[in-house]
Amino acid sequence: MTAPAGRTVIVGGGVIGSSIAYHLIRDGYPGRVVVVERDATYARASSFLAMGGIRQQFSSAVNIRLAQYGTRFYAAFDRTMRVPEHTPRADFRQRGYLFLVDGAAADRFSARVERQRRLGARVRRIECGEIRAMAPDLELDDIRFGVFGPDDGYGEPREVLAGFRAAAGAAGVRYVAAEVVDVVRQAGRVAGVVLDDGERMAADTVVNAAGPFASRLAALAGLDLPVQPVRQHLFRCALPVRLSYRLPMVVDPSGVHWRHDDTGNRPGPDRLVVARTRLDEPPGENFACDHHRWESDFRPPLEARMPRLAPIEVIEGWAGLYAMTPDHNPVLGEHPAAPGLVLANGFSGHGLMIAPAIGKVLSEMIRLGRTETVDVSCFAPDRFDRGEAVHDEAMI
């Protein structure tokens, strides 16, 4: 799959597509790189609407290594991604990820911590006394212990996206505002795309980085890609006071998780961004925010965990899309049924946190025909056909 000097067309200019474009140029790709993005406003881009969590607390070696690359990258992001046209303010706050573990999950999390440590993740078990010192307003009567990753944290998703896009553009990547309406095949290979204005854009390699809309693009190449868009709700809420400490990303046993919303260190009461994945959410391109879910699914467990901070007032809610695969892990690489088409899809809510590593390994695939930084062969696009799903229990 090694590409000669020519052109790579990346369909989708969100954080994944822009990271791939940036890394290709930075790594010395000799050809031209074009990113085709149908929505120049990015108003519905998953990375634009994300929570911004960045963690290495997974239970598979491949996900831990991808996340560790991302953690290191984001720690230097605002400095290394600065270009004359743009100063990024992703503001990666390494306040840690804190999983609260109750009795029902204690054995599972104990085994997970040991596995994560064996695989090289910087993570440790902490007792309730240390949790109280870290976050004194958390109610811990039902909690046995916590699992804390001190290198983890969160950044500002829109600034991450803007930073990648600006750095890629400054490096020479061309962005085209258009929609791909067809995929061109020649001599059994994918050889380009057709845009909605009729332009035929030839390419040595076409990258599908279309996020939740990836299966639609894959279908144009004759592929049935098992990636579905699934709605994810987030809410911004206000506490009645300003805390004297900053919270880590807190993950409650209920599945509700929250972080501080402290961009710009605004005065007044603290705000939180709160998320919760609904496992039975029906697939579909649904961006409507169901505000009733704040009262039914979000507020009760949040206030139960922080009763001294109730009442917690909702400010706004919004919905974005996860690009979900059957095993909640990505599909990466050239599809054997469509040579010339490289897939970078199905990140299932983890795209922003591993976008730097995905850019790097996809750059290696396209330039070298192999990966050197992280072995992602287990995420091959045809693994579901072979019955080789990837299991990682640390999904939220």
Residues 6+ apart with CB under 8 A from 66: 354, 357, 358, 361, 374, 376
Beta carbons of 60 and 392 less than 8 angstroms apart: yes
Question: b/e per residue, 126-138, with b = 16+ CB within 10 A?
Answer: beeeebeebbeeb
Q: 148-194, pLDDT tens digit by residue?
A: 999 999 999 999 999 999 999 999 999 999 999 999 999 999 999 99
Question: Rounded to an integer, what distance in angstroms lies between the CA atom of residue 263 and that of residue 91?
Answer: 8
- The 10s digit of each residue's pLDDT in 227-249 is 999 999 999 999 999 999 999 99
Note the pLDDT of residue 393: 79
| CATH number corresponding to 7-84+157-226+326-379 | 3.50.50.60
Interval 290-318: pLDDT, tens = 999 999 999 999 999 999 999 999 999 99
Size of the chain in residues: 396
Distance CA 283, CA 15 (A): 22
- Per-residue pLDDT, 1: 39
Q: Residue written as tokens 């990466």?
A: 332
Give the residues across from 162 on adjacent strands.
none
Q: How confident is the model at residue 2 (pLDDT cuts 50, 70, 90)?
A: very low
The mean pLDDT value of the chain amounts to 95
Cβ atoms of 258 and 309 closer than 8 Å: no
Question: Residue 344 — φ and ψ, nearest 5°?
Answer: -140, 75
Q: What's the confidence (pLDDT) of residue 265?
A: 66
Mean pLDDT of 53-79: 95
What whole-number distance in Å separates Cα of residue 119 and Cα of residue 122?
Answer: 9
27-38: string of b/e by CB count within 10 Å (b at 16+)? eebebbbbbbbb
Name 113's Cβ contacts closer than 8 Å, sequence gap at least 6. 123, 124, 125, 147
Contacts of residue 159, defined as CB under 8 A and 6 or more positions apart, other chains included, come to 88, 89, 90, 91
Contact between residue 344 and residue 366 where contact means Cβ atoms under 8 Å apart = no
Whole-angstrom distance, CA of residue 132 vs CA of residue 300: 21
CB atoms within 10 A of CB 119: 18
Record the tokens describing residue 340, joined without a space.
């010339």
Contact at 8 Å (CB) between 99 and 147? yes
Whether 49 and 74 have beta carbons less than 8 Å apart is answered as: no
Close Cβ partners of 93 (under 8 Å, ≥ 6 residues apart): 153, 154, 155, 246, 260
Same fold, 7-84+157-226+326-379 and 97-151+229-324: no
- Is the confidence at residue 24, as pLDDT, over 90? yes
Question: Which pLDDT score is estimated for 268?
Answer: 86
For the residues 50-73, what does the mean pLDDT come to?
94
pLDDT of residue 264: 61
Tell me 151's DSSP state.
T
- DSSP state for residue 272 in the 8-state scheme: E
What percentage of the chain exceeds 70 in pLDDT?
Answer: 97
**Mean pLDDT of all residues in 315-330:** 96
Q: For the residues 201-228, what does the mean pLDDT come to?
A: 96
The residue type of 281 is E
* Residue boundaries of the structural domains of the chain: 7-84+157-226+326-379, 97-151+229-324
Give yes or no for residue 340 having a pLDDT over 90.
yes
Q: Which helix (H) or strand (E) holds 49?
A: none
Lowest mean pLDDT of 115-119, 177-181, 212-216, name the range: 115-119
Q: 327 falls in which pLDDT band (50, 70, 90)?
A: very high
- Average pLDDT value for residue range 212-228: 96
In CATH, what number does 97-151+229-324 get? 3.30.9.10
Cα dihedral 34/158/155/374 (nearest 10): -20
